Amino acid sequence: MAKPIVAIVGRPNVGKSTLFNKLAGKRIAIVEDTPGVTRDRIYADAEWLNKNFTIIDTGGIEPESEDIIISQMRRQAQIAIEMADVVIFVVDGKQGLTDSDNEVAQMLRKAQKAVILAVNKIDRKQLDDNIYEFYNLGLGDPIAISASQALGLGDLLDEVVARFPKYDEDDENDEYIRIAMVGRPNVGKSSLINRMLGEEKHIVSDIPGTTRDAVDSYLESQEGKFILVDTAGLRKKSKIKEQIERYSAVRTLAAIENADVCILMIDAEKGIAEQDEKIIGYAHELNKAIMVIVNKWDLIEKDDKTMNRFKNDLREKLGFLPYAQYLFISAKTGQRVNKVLGIAKECYNNYSKRIKTGILNDVISKAVMMKEPPVVGINRLKIYYVTQVGTKPPTFVFFVNNPALLHFSYERYLENQLRNNFDFGGTGIKLEFRERKE
């Protein structure tokens, strides 16, 4: 299930960034009493009633302004509205209803999105009556809030999560393995998906950045059912000049979070870059199943050792991903493309793997006998019991005498023992350590 996206919009200086910071739980957006301070979209994760979502702060919308900065901010806000599941429309309860508010409301009605009207700066009881004029916007019941004082935010968030798209627990998409194709622009993500689908569904161009959003394609094969997600290529932040690309980055990160398998695509001619490491590093932090595909292999002059040299170089640069699976292909010629889904399915199977508790404890007991935890001060870590508590990713909880005695090198040793005894190739695994009295 995709993480819902909530966009905060409104004309300048109504308190959008203050509200964003309160919902995000930290000061991210710059808050000043000057219209137009938030010129860029800023996004953060939030949670309410055990529901996780992404919130986006936008520059203020000035519908009639011709100022180039204001017009860019307006375009950004329009993009945010297009991609959002729910829109919080913030107005100023002290200043009252303005013509600009009516213009924004008209834009929101055309977008046909779930809209919640938040009347901000209602921080005194005598201001409560100020909300009634905002019924004239025709966007339903206004909710009185004070973002700076954190008043009314619970009621606001209750309405937000109530408007999230409803998903059936037996959603047929649960049968599908979600694969997110990530990488820098123009490495061939769309070309690979088109080759796998056997149709020209995705626009393929030599111009970087053709894919602006995360696009889903459904595919059934002998390996199983898959959803292939083509994401916009992520550039370095300093190179993200077109405003729309910043929203594409939000969608790409969301695609990684929602994926079962993440495939990092690399251009064989250009090699790996720092941005590739950051993209797949995000998937690694989430313990996703990971594949690395080197595309355009047909363009490389090679001998019988070229592939091994290239792979070893990648493994060294991606040292934090010793478990990743590698494949060298040409999306253009079709070379080895038929192996992509098979390897992705193997990664997914390991991502979903469950180990019986008895076998698991036998392996860990032997590992501890072979190598005891190091002494920290005068104490030593004791492992009483281990159990697997989840899959996707495989998650193991170790009950110990004191988690503070765990050294990172010993945690890595335990992970290696799990990997050596059980096939977790292609997937991250998660280890947790909890205190339990002997």
381 band by pLDDT with thresholds 50, 70 and 90: very high
Q: What is the pLDDT of residues 122-177, one digit of tens each?
A: 887 767 778 899 999 999 999 999 998 989 999 999 999 999 987 654 454 568 89
**Confidence (pLDDT) at 46:** 84
Q: Structure tokens of 209?
A: 């950045």
Query: CA triplet 420, 422, 423: central angle to 5 degrees?
Result: 90
Q: How far apart are CA 374 and CA 408, in angstroms?
A: 11
Q: Is 61 annotated in some ligand binding site?
A: yes
Q: Is 120 annotated in some ligand binding site?
A: yes
Q: Structure tokens of 76?
A: 């950004």
Q: How far apart are CA 437 and CA 226, in angstroms?
A: 45
- Lowest-confidence range among 39-48, 165-174, 367-376, 425-434? 165-174
Q: Is 19 annotated in some ligand binding site?
A: no
286 band by pLDDT with thresholds 50, 70 and 90: very high
**Confidence (pLDDT) at 204:** 43
Statement: residue 73 has pLDDT above 50: yes
Statement: residue 425 has pLDDT above 90: yes
Q: Is 319 annotated in some ligand binding site?
A: no
**Confidence (pLDDT) at 35:** 44
Q: Is 352 annotated in some ligand binding site?
A: no
CA nearest to 15, candidates 36, 2, 31, 4 = 31
**Confidence (pLDDT) at 210:** 39
> Using an 8 Å Cβ cutoff, are 15 and 147 in contact?
yes
> Using an 8 Å Cβ cutoff, are 28 and 42 in contact?
yes
The rounded Cα 227 to chain-centroid distance in angstroms is: 16
Residues with Cβ within 8 Å of residue 250, at least 6 apart in sequence: 5, 41, 43, 54, 56, 83
Q: Is 17 annotated in some ligand binding site?
A: yes
Q: Is 296 annotated in some ligand binding site?
A: yes
Q: Is 233 annotated in some ligand binding site?
A: yes
Statement: residue 431 has pLDDT above 60: yes
Q: Is 58 annotated in some ligand binding site?
A: yes
Residues with Cβ within 8 Å of residue 84, at least 6 apart in sequence: 5, 6, 7, 56, 113
- Lowest-confidence range among 68-72, 315-319, 410-414? 68-72
**Confidence (pLDDT) at 5:** 86
Statement: residue 260 has pLDDT above 60: yes
212 band by pLDDT with thresholds 50, 70 and 90: very low
Q: Is 428 annotated in some ligand binding site?
A: no
Q: Is 75 annotated in some ligand binding site?
A: no
Q: Is 10 annotated in some ligand binding site?
A: yes
Q: Structure tokens of 58?
A: 């936008």
Statement: residue 179 has pLDDT above 90: yes
Structural domains in the chain plus CATH codes: 5-163 (3.40.50.300), 172-352 (3.40.50.300), 357-435 (3.30.300.20)
Q: Is 216 annotated in some ligand binding site?
A: no
**Confidence (pLDDT) at 70:** 56
Q: Is 387 annotated in some ligand binding site?
A: no
298 band by pLDDT with thresholds 50, 70 and 90: very high
Is 1 or 213 the better-scoring residue by pLDDT? 1
Q: Structure tokens of 241?
A: 């000049």
**Rounded mean pLDDT of 174-202?**
83
> What one-letter code names the amino acid at 271?
G
**Confidence (pLDDT) at 62:** 62
- Lowest-confidence range among 201-215, 390-404, 414-428? 201-215
- Lowest-confidence range among 189-198, 249-258, 395-404? 249-258
Q: Is 197 annotated in some ligand binding site?
A: no
Is 367 or 78 the better-scoring residue by pLDDT? 367
Mean confidence (pLDDT) of the chain: 83
Q: Is 230 annotated in some ligand binding site?
A: yes
Statement: residue 406 has pLDDT above 90: yes
Q: Is 189 annotated in some ligand binding site?
A: yes
**Confidence (pLDDT) at 394:** 97
